[in-house]
Chains A and B, each alone.
Chain A
């Protein structure tokens, strides 16, 4: 008997009513995410990856189906601090130091001064930014800023981490390094992670489960459970298993495209 899924979507649909007609951003999406999984969402632009993540976060209201997070409605789960959200742009406040930025959610959630300090120090260490607490965002590189924004999402100890293309704007080398760090962080914190990406290698390298999506209407076309071990050195990307999964993801993406062309 396994525990109840952390995130459970059943026949989830979302239609945006726009000026020039309805957009089916999500249609009949059914997916369970278990505790401690690392789930990547991959698919062409406009297939609803961001929308799905935003539904989980309670930032978007589904128009059909059911969605629970930790057994609660997304709104209730958010109020219970179920998740931390990392946006594509680091979005640090320029008028706050790195420490001040990470303290932002803690101030809002009413942590005591002493606890704020302690948590800031701890998550800065977790993302390897100790010593940068007093720096301002413009003094940091893009990769460091994104690490700070991950620290901000980790600071209040939510069990779920939702990340929407967090490394999309970074170069490959920085990205590799951050991927490695993210895996270590995931192993250490045992969080459940939902991760949106456009990169097949990134999805395969990071995930225990890869969700392939396709657009118009946005839907899931394939769910791949990765056979790779949880412990993953960077050179696992040259292994046969890795390449096989990458192939399957690519086929899934291509199928979505071919279908659309018909």
Chain B
């Protein structure tokens, strides 16, 4: 409970700021709509209002502020609107027994989760293999590391469509693989960097100790380097899984995908339904939170087994 309090305070603060911003963001849309419905607003005419600042409009039409919280297509929906949209497209559908219909965010979240996990697995394998190679052969560090760094400077939005096009060129069916590749592309790097650091964290004395036992390279990896790298591994896994999720969503955006949270965001944009965009965004955030929390729990149990929890 004591741990939850600061989080709740921050959450309340964000909510308050959000609500405070809503009238400012929505007053123009709200006035335009009211005028079109034949009501009197101050001043009249879209072009006249365009010349005026938002605070002036709010001062002129205090009676309309309430409406800015209830618009169907707001510029900025309220947290309450987002939450009820999220509920309507997830929990409510589950209650109706349509939890897995193509309109449900649970279905789209599942699609995104699946590719995130396969991308994460791919990125994890790449990152680990790279880190092991770098630890055991300095040459690899000099030849691999510059490319790894360059790979992270290329904007993924530029690369994502190319990966999709190329993979369909070589005859890969469906969007699963290219999405996983994009997501692996984003998440291997933090894992690589973290694990290089972790595998090299044993001190010279610890390494010398194993040498006095004439331990093989494999034994010193298994008994020393790998266990010593655990704290680093978990730190980079958490960064990595978040990156993998971002990669998947980016992979779902530009490619004409119709399922996945990224596709929901894109479709919401095309059809002008901001509530759908925000609900999909929130769903993505919740998914990221769940993934990181799951890793955190694994970390705790691993560390506890190693006697590291005081």
Contacts and interface: CB of A to CB of B under 8 A. Distances in A.
Interface in A42-99: 57, 59, 78-79, 81, 83-85, 87, 89, 91, 93-97
8 contacts: A57-B212, A91-B205, A93-B228, A97-B307, A104-B213, A108-B214, A136-B307, A138-B307
Given A93-B224, A97-B307, A136-B307, A108 B213 contact: yes
A107 interface: yes
Contacts of A97: 307
A109 interface: yes
Which among A57, A89, A97, A104 has the greatest number of chain B C-beta atoms within 10 A? A104
B307 A95 contact: yes
The bracket for how many chain A residues form the interface is 20 to 34
A105 interface: yes
Contacts of A136: 307
A104 B307 contact: no
Interface residues of B, number: 21
Closest 8 pairs between A and B when the two form their complex, measured CB to CB = A136-B307, A95-B306, A85-B212, A108-B213, A105-B213, A108-B215, A79-B214, A87-B205
A59 B212 CA distance: 8
Interface of A: 57, 59, 78-79, 81, 83-85, 87, 89, 91, 93-97, 104-105, 107-109, 136, 138
Contacts, number: 50
Nearest to A90: B205
Given A85-B212, A108-B210, A108-B215, A95 B205 contact: no
Nearest to A89: B205
B217 to A, nearest CB: 12
Contact of B209 (A79, A83, A91, A109): A91
A94 B224 CA distance: 11
B208 A87 contact: yes
Contacts of B224: 93
A94 B308 contact: yes
A78 B214 contact: yes
A151 to B, nearest CB: 14
A88 B150 CA distance: 43
Interface string B184-225: 000000000000000000010110111111110001000110
Given A85-B212, A87-B209, A108 B307 contact: no
